[in-house]
């Protein structure tokens, strides 16, 4: 009897004491808090994938985007690129990072996108309220002081989102590796209204 009650009451007590509020099966053995959270989120994604795959049928596409466009955007969780741009599966390449900044690695992806997978247009999307407006290049120094190693990469922090979009457009247009630079456009996505505002390259 005691064994029965303990196996059910322990996880429940644990759940109510965390801020995450995750539902945990009573049969799941107690683990460190971080592990429970990580496992639970990832498990949920994997379960969702099983449902996705059950309804999925092979569209029979090849790897070349149907609309011949590559979209470079910030990784911000509030920006649902496909929904915001009316994109369907197979339409475009999406290249995302913190800020939607055109780094060397984005140039690498765009180069492969254009030269090997047939895209011609580039759409750059930054957004209002970006996390990169709240930090500075001092972040690299902070990291160095904490871990004893200075990152090789720039933080790419910015203060003026319009200007940063212009710089990103310029980086794409001036890259020697691009095949097509005649259709490179930049926008700021408003996370409050869902609207894009185009930035004049000037």
Note the residues at the interface with Zn ion (CB under 5 A).
74, 76, 130
Q: How far is the CB of 76 from Zn ion (least distance, A)?
A: 4
Distance CA 114, CA 131 (A): 29
Which of residues 24 and 167 has its CB atom nearest to Zn ion in the complex?
167
Structure tokens at 197: 């505002």
Residues linked to residue 92 through DSSP beta bridges, in sequence order:
69
Q: How far is the CB of 74 from Zn ion (least distance, A)?
A: 3
Q: Is 187 exposed, middle or buried (0-12, 13-18, 19+ CB in 10 A)?
A: buried
Q: How far is the CB of 130 from Zn ion (least distance, A)?
A: 3
Structure tokens at 144: 């160095």
124 within 8 A of 168, measured Cβ to Cβ:
yes
Q: How far is the CB of 54 from Zn ion (least distance, A)?
A: 34
Which of residues 129 and 151 has its CB atom nearest to Zn ion in the complex?
129
Which of residues 74 and 178 has its CB atom nearest to Zn ion in the complex?
74
Which of residues 76 and 164 has its CB atom nearest to Zn ion in the complex?
76
Beta strand 184-189 with 196-199 is antiparallel
């Amino acid at each position: 009897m005691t064994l029965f009650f303990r196996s059910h009451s322990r996880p429940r007590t644990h759940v109510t004491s965390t801020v995450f509020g995750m539902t945990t099966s009573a049969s799941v053995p107690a683990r460190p808090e971080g592990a429970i959270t990580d496992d639970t989120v990832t498990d949920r994604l994997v379960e969702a994938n099983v449902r996705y795959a059950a309804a999925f049928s092979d569209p029979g596409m090849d790897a070349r985007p149907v609309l011949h466009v590559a979209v470079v955007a910030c990784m911000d969780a509030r920006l649902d690129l496909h929904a915001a741009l009316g994109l369907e599966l197979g339409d475009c390449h999406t290249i995302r990072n913190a800020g939607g900044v055109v780094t060397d690695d984005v140039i690498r992806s765009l180069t492969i996108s254009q030269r090997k997978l047939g895209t011609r247009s580039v759409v750059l999307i930054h957004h209002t309220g970006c996390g990169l407006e709240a930090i500075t290049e001092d972040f690299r120094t902070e990291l160095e002081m904490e871990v004893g190693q200075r990152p090789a990469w720039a933080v790419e922090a910015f203060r003026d989102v319009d200007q940063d979009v212009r710089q990103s457009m310029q980086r794409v247009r001036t890259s020697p590796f691009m095949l097509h630079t005649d259709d490179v456009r930049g926008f700021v996505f408003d996370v409050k209204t869902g609207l894009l505002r185009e930035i004049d390259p000037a």
